[in-house]
Amino acid sequence: MSVIERDMPAVESAARSYSRAAIGLRNPHLAEIGTARSELTWLEIHSENYLLPPTTPRYQALERVRHDFALSCHGVGLSICSAEGLDRQNLQDLRVLYDRLQPFQVSEHLAWSMIDGRYYNDLLPIPYTDETLDIVCRNIDHAQEVLGRRLLIENPSRYIDLPNNEWPEPVFLGEMAKRTGCGLLFDVNNLFISAHNLRFETAKYLRDLPVAAIGQFHVAGHSRRELTAADGTLDQLLIDDHGSTVPETVWQLLDEMLALTGALPVLVEWDNQVPALDVLLAEARQAQQRLDAVAGKAGDHAA
Partner 1 sequence: MLHEWQSHFASQLRASPPYSEAELTALVGARQHRFSVYRDNFIGSLVDALAETFPVTRQLLGERFFAAAAADFIRREPPAAARLSRYGGAFPVCLHAHSALHELRYVADVAALEWARVESFFAGMPETTVTPETLLGFAEEVLPHLVFEPVASLRVIVAPTAVLNIWQAHQQAEPQLDGIDPWQAQTVRVLCNRLQGVAAMAITPAHATFLQALQQGADLLAAYEAAAAVAGDFDLQAALVAELTIGSFGRVLVP
Residues that bind partner 1 (CB under 8 A): 48-49, 51-57, 59, 76-79, 82-84, 87, 89-90, 112-122, 124-127, 129, 131-132, 135, 159-164, 197, 225, 227-230, 235, 237, 239
Nearer to partner 1, 38 or 228 (CB): 228
User: What is the DSSP secondary structure assignment for residue 77, as one 8-state letter?
Assistant: S
Question: What angle separates helix 130-147 from helix 3-17, to the nearest 10 degrees?
Answer: 80
Residues 6+ apart with CB under 8 A from 59: 50, 52, 53
Rounded to the nearest whole angstrom, what is the least distance from the CB of residue 160 to partner 1 in the complex? 5
- Tell the smallest beta-carbon distance from residue 139 to partner 1 (Å): 11
DSSP letters spanning 98-139: HHHH--SEEEEESSEEEETTEEEEEEE-----HHHHHHHHHH
Q: Are 176 and 153 in contact (CB under 8 A)?
A: yes
**Which CB sits closer to partner 1, 8 or 115?**
115
Kindly tell me which of 79 and 189 has the beta carbon lying closer to partner 1.
79
Burial of 261 (0-12, 13-18, 19+ CB in 10 A): middle
CB of 237 to partner 1, least distance (A): 7
The nearer residue to partner 1, 223 or 289, going by C-beta atoms, is 223
In angstroms, rounded to a whole number, what is the distance separating the alpha carbons of residues 265 and 243? 21
Rounded distance between C-alpha atoms, residue 289 and residue 39, angstroms: 12
- What is the closest distance, in whole angstroms, from the C-beta atom of residue 163 to partner 1 in the complex? 4
Q: Nearest distance from residue 58's CB to partner 1, in Å? A: 8
99 Cβ neighbours under 8 A, 6+ residues apart: none
Pick 117 or 299: Cβ nearer partner 1: 117
Nearest to 183 by CA among 212, 152, 205, 161: 152
Query: 127 or 262, CB closer to partner 1?
Result: 127
Smallest gap from Cβ 117 to partner 1, in A, equals 6
Q: Which residue lies nearer to partner 1 by CB, 237 or 281?
A: 237
Burial (Cβ within 10 Å: 0-12, 13-18, ≥19) of residue 206: middle
- For the bound state, the minimum distance from the C-beta of residue 112 to partner 1, rounded and expressed in Å, comes to 6
Beta carbon of residue 2, minimum distance to partner 1 (angstroms, whole number): 25
Task: Tell which residue, 14, 16, 34, has the closest CA to residue 25.
Answer: 34
